[in-house]
Amino acid sequence: MTNSMGINCYDFIEFYVGSAKMVAYWYAKALNFEIKGYKGSEYGTKDRVSYYLVKNDIKFVITSYINPASYDITSYLNKHGDGVKRWAFRVDDVTKSYEYAYNHGAVPILEPHKLEDEFGIVEKASIKIYDDTEIVFINYDNYKGIFQPGYYEPIQKIETSANDSHLQFVDHIVGNVRHNEMDYWVDYYCKTMDFERFIYFGPGDISTKFSALLSSVVRTKDSAVKIPINEPYKGLKKSQIQEYLEEFYGSGVQHIAIASDDIIASISALRSNGIEFLSVPDTYYDNLKARNLEISEDIDTLKKHGILCDFEGDGYLLQLFTKPIGDRPTFFFEIIQRRKKSEGFGQGNFQSLFESIEKDQDLRGNLV
Ligand code: FE2
């Protein structure tokens, strides 16, 4: 199956943050990204500054405001704190994708337009998703520059960390939405971008002793991109999704899953760079051993690094979640390695993981 939107893959993800220079430094040193491009006053952009970072096929843009009149950034930061403002899908034809989305009910943000400089033309357009987030349709077929017009060589050289993080590409981007909003956004993806729902976790499927959530995963019909959406569900105490919604002040991106080609090397490198991960009890690995499943990795090695393992059909996946990376308990990363064409999201790990998240939620005084 192809997808009628001409979506090829995830492209860049842009974060709005309080201090782009410092956050870019963190991505270079902690996650092993290379700072490839820069947009700022030295190159004629006066109201904002952006760093363009790359690790294999992952592209991040880290943006801060310079001028307080940059309301798109200041209002976002004031309300949500640091977070994902927009992500892009690379498409065959920006106008065609935008018009399909618009004609099927997408809320427009930016109509198709061309950005041009001496290196060529980039075409882009964007639509709304969740509260203050955007999806960009982008095409670089006629562009040879570093990233997009306005971006040039970084002024300040920041060396990337020495140990390779083995991070390869964006596997999925997850949204957290309010009670009764999940089906609205599932329909939005399906109608406006020709996605289909392929996984649904209903009441009782994902819950701990105290809290619960609902989850759906949508994808393009050729599986080029997958997007899970979570909604809080009533439990004895506050759902972790509800905590996100209250701390983020609305709906938005909860986590980005990044695929690794060697998760043991990834976790080892990231831990030594100071990244904090969720931890699971030792009994998790006793249970894993008792199941006698066929995996290439040594279970004691997985235990040493705290990596989780989940099976689905013939395939399996290895995964681990960081703690929230910023000041608020909102956005975090997942590191994932899929084996034997696994298409799952670690549902077998939900119980242990959510209990681990709840422990931290309790520490923050938000498990009430
Ligand atoms: Fe995930």
DSSP secondary structure letters along 280-346:
--THHHHHHHHTT---SS-HHHHHHHT-EEEEETTEEEEEEEBPPSSSSS--EEEEEEEETT-----
> Which pLDDT does position 292 carry in this prediction?
76
Q: How many angstroms does the Cα of residue 53 sit away from the middle of ligand 1?
A: 22
- Cα of 340 vs centre of ligand 1, distance in Å, is 18
Nearest to 125 by CA among 46, 61, 115, 308: 115
201 CA distance to ligand 1 centroid (A)? 14
Tell me, in angstroms, the distance from the centre of ligand 1 to residue 349's CA. Answer: 11
- Could you give the maximum distance between any two Cα atoms of the chain, in Å? 62
**Residue 208: what pLDDT?**
77
pLDDT of residue 12 exceeding 90, the answer is: yes
Q: What's the whole-model pTM score?
A: 0.95
Ligand 1 centroid distance, CA of 266 (Å): 17
Ligand 1 centroid from CA 101, angstroms: 25
CB-based contacts of 298: which residues, under 8 Å, 6+ apart? none
Name residues with Cβ closer than 5 Å to ligand 1, which is an ion.
Answer: 257, 334
CA–CA gap between residue 66 and residue 307 (Å, rounded)? 40
> Mean pLDDT, the chain, as a whole number?
92
- CA 267 to ligand 1 centroid distance, Å: 16
Burial 155-182 (b: 16+ CB within 10 A, else e): eeebebbeeebbbbebbbbbbbbbeebb
CA of 8 to the centre of ligand 1 (A): 20
Nearest by Cα to 337 from 310, 359, 356: 310
For the chain, list the domains and their CATH numbers. 7-143 (3.10.180.10), 167-364 (3.10.180.10)
The residue whose two tokens read 């989850």 is 215
Note the pLDDT tens digit of each residue in 238-296.
888 999 999 999 999 999 999 999 999 999 999 999 999 998 888 888 888 888 778 88
pLDDT at residue 1, as a whole number: 62
Going from the Cα of 334 to the center of ligand 1, the distance in angstroms, rounded, reads: 6
pLDDT of residue 52: 98
Question: Among all chains, which residue has been given the structure tokens 């549902």?
Answer: 347
Please identify which residue in the block is written with the tokens 């990363």. Answer: 333
State in Å: Cα 258 to ligand 1 middle. 9
Q: Determine the average pLDDT of the residues in 86-105.
A: 97
Task: Output the CA 256–ligand 1 centroid distance in Å.
Answer: 7
Q: How far is the CA of 275 from the centre of ligand 1 (A)?
A: 18
pLDDT value of position 118: 95
Reference 3, options 100, 108, 125, 99; nearest CA is 100
pLDDT tops 90 at residue 312: no
Residue 158 has pLDDT above 90, yes or no: no
| pLDDT 10s digits, 165-181 | 999 999 999 999 999 99
Closest CA to 214 of 248, 242, 249: 242
Contact 249, 79 (CB under 8 A): yes
pLDDT surpasses 70 at 54: yes
| Distance from residue 268's CA to the centre of ligand 1 (Å) | 20
CA of 330 to the centre of ligand 1 (A): 14
Q: How confident is the model at residue 47 (pLDDT cuts 50, 70, 90)?
A: very high
* Cα distances (angstroms) measured from residue 6 to each of 103, 137, 220: 16, 10, 10
What per-residue confidence (pLDDT) applies to 283?
A: 82
